[in-house]
Amino acid sequence: MSVKAELLCVAALCCFTSLACATPHIQSWQSASGAKVLFVENHDIAMLDVAVSVPAGSSFDAKSGVAGMTHHLLDKGATGLSEDDISRGMADIGAQFGGSFDQDRASVSLRTLSSAAERDQALNIMAQVLQQPAFMDAVLTREKVRLISALKEAETQPESIADKAFQKAVYGAHPYALPVSGEVVSVEKITIQDLRDFYAAHYNASRAVVAIMGDVTRAQAEAIAGQLTAQLPVSGGHAALPAVTMQIPAIEQRIAHPASQSHILIGAPGMSRSDPDYFPLYVGNYILGGGGFVSRLMNEVREKRGLAYSVYSYFMPLKQPGAFQIGLQTKKEQADEALKLVRNTLAEFITQGPTEKELRAARQNIVGGFALRIDSNRKILDYLSIIGFYDLPLTYLDDFTARVERVTVAQIRDAFARHIHPQAMATVIVGAPEAKAESAGGKNK
C-alpha cells in the first residue's frame, strides 16, 4: 500500500493520554510581504490546500454588505482574466476554488492537485484574484440583484428572521449586529468605488494569514506565500472594532410567522477567541448543549420529552466576544413549555454547575476524540487559518488536550457565572404561539 502511514505526524509528539496522537508539525514564518504563513508539509496525498485570510469581515462594514460583496466579487474578474477565464481555468484542472466569510474574516481557499502543471495554473489564478481583482460594473449590478433577491427570500424564512433579530438584540449598535451579507437597502447602494476602497483598506499583506497544507516543500510553500501576497495593497492603520457591551437588557421578542414551528433563540455576548476562560467555557458548554445526544439540553428537551428534533448551545468565539446561543425548533403549541424548560435547564446549570461525573464524561469525549479533529488535510488547514488569524500559539493543538484535562468543575461554574446571566439575555421567537404573538404584535410597527 502506498498511502504512507506516518502522515500527519511529521514531528511534534505530545502524549498527554494514551489516546493522544501526534499533532501536525506547524512551520511558521513571515513572508517578505509581511503576511503570516503557517505550513504543514505532508506528501501522503498528491494535493495541496491553501487559504488566505484577511480581517475584512462584515464587522468592518460602514455600509452593510460592502465587505461581503467585495469578497464575493474577487473571483468574478481580475486584471487580464474574465470571470469565465477564472472559472474555466480552475475547472479545467479539477481545482476547487472557494472561500468563507464571517463577521471577522474573509478568506479565499484553493484545493488543487499538487502536480506542477495543475498546481501552477491554480495558484496563478488565485494570485490574480487576490491581488488584481477587477470589480467590474456589470458584474456588480448583476450580483446585487441576485443578493437582494436572496436577502428578500431570507426575510420570509423563520430561521433567517430569527438569526437576524437575535444578532440585533444581542449586539445593538455594535458591528457584530450587522447581517453578514448586508441589508436590502444598503446593498442597493453599493458602488464599485465602495468595493475598491474596502479592498484597499482591508486586503493588506501585513494583516493576511496564509495557511498551506499538503504536498509541497518548505521552499515551494515560501514561494507560494510570496506569490499570493506580495502584490496586496499596502495601507496604513486599521480601525479597531468598538468594544462589545457585555451586559444586555433582558428582552423577549415574539415575531409572527405562519410556519408550523416556533424557532427559538436565546443568548447574549459570550466569549472571544482570546478569553482566558476559553477552555472552561468550551468544556462546560459541551455538557450544557454542545455534546450532541448526551448534553443536558438534549436530554431534557428531546430525550425525556420529545419536544424538539434539535436543541443546542454554543459559543461563537470571535475577535471580540461572539454570541453565546441556545437554539431549538418546536411546534407552536408547545413553544412556551419548551422555552420554560430550556430556561430552567440553563439556570440550574449556571447556579449548580456540572457534576464531576459530567465533567469526566466531557473530558473523555473531547480528549479521547482529539484525533478526529486533525484526521484530514482539510481540518488541519482550517486550524492553521484559525491559529494564524486569531494569534493563537503555534502549540495550540499540542496543548489542547492538556488544557481540557485541567478544567475543573469549579472553573466551569465560575466562568459561566461571570459570562452568562440568564436574567439578562435576548430571546427571539419566530412563529410564536398565536395569542402571545398578537399581544406582542400590538406594540409593533
Partner 1 sequence: MRIYLFFVAMWLGSGQHIAQAEVFERTLANGLKVIVKEDHRAPVVVQQIWYKAGSMDERTGKTGIAHVLEHLMFKGTRSVPAGEFSRRIAAAGGRENAFTSYDYTAYFQQLHKSRLPLAMKLEADRMHNLNLSADEFAKEVRVVMEERRMRTDDQPQALLQEKMMAVAYQEHPYQNPVIGWMSDLESLDVADAAAWYRLWYAPNNATLVIAGDVKASEVFALAQRHYGGIARRVLPPRRNYTEPVQLGVKRMVVKAPAELPQLVMSYHTPVLQQPEQDWQPYALEILAGVLDGNESARLNKHLVREQQVASSVGVGYDSASRGPSLFTLQATPSTGKTVGDTETALRQEIALLIKEGVSEEELKRVKAQVMAGEVYKLDSVFYQAMQIGQMESIGLGHKTLPVMLAKLQAVTAGQVQQVAREFLQDDNLTVAVLDPQPLSGKSGHKVEGAAHVR
39 lies in the binding site for partner 1 (CB under 8 A): no
The CA-atom distances, in angstroms, between 106 and each of 60, 100, 142, 340, 344 are 11, 6, 21, 38, 38
Size of the site for partner 1 (CB under 8 A): 104
173 lies in the binding site for partner 1 (CB under 8 A): no
- The SS3 call for residue 126 is helix
The string of DSSP letters for 173-232 reads TSGGGS-TT--HHHHTT--HHHHHHHHHHH--GGG-EEEEEES--HHHHHHHHHHHHTTS
Q: Using CB under 8 A, which residues numbered 332 to 361 contact partner 1?
A: 361
Q: Which is nearer to partner 1, 118 or 194 (CB)?
A: 118
Least separation in angstroms between CB 410 and partner 1: 22
- The SS3 call for residue 151 is helix
Residue type, 395: T
Closest CA to 89 of 138, 116, 51, 124: 124
Cell of 29: 514564518
291 lies in the binding site for partner 1 (CB under 8 A): yes
- For the chain, give me the number of helices (H) and strands (E)? 17, 11
Least separation in angstroms between CB 241 and partner 1: 24
Least separation in angstroms between CB 329 and partner 1: 5
Q: Figure out which of the listed residues 336, 376, 403, 421 binds partner 1, where binding follows CB under 8 A.
A: 376
Q: CA-to-CA distance for 333 and 331, rounded, in angstroms? A: 6
Residue with cell 492537485: 113
Contact 284, 275 (CB under 8 A): no
Q: Using CB under 8 A, which residues numbered 71 to 110 contact partner 1?
A: 83-84, 87-88, 90-97
Residue with cell 468605488: 193
Q: Which is nearer to partner 1, 35 or 81 (CB)?
A: 81
- The SS3 call for residue 16 is coil
157 lies in the binding site for partner 1 (CB under 8 A): yes
Least separation in angstroms between CB 137 and partner 1: 14
168 lies in the binding site for partner 1 (CB under 8 A): yes
189 lies in the binding site for partner 1 (CB under 8 A): no
137 lies in the binding site for partner 1 (CB under 8 A): no
The window from 44-52, 200-208, 272-280, 404-412 that contacts partner 1 (CB under 8 A) reads: 44-52
Contact 115, 46 (CB under 8 A): yes
372 lies in the binding site for partner 1 (CB under 8 A): yes
Least separation in angstroms between CB 69 and partner 1: 15
Residues 201-230, mask of contacts with partner 1 (x by CB under 8 A): --------------x---------------
Least separation in angstroms between CB 243 and partner 1: 23
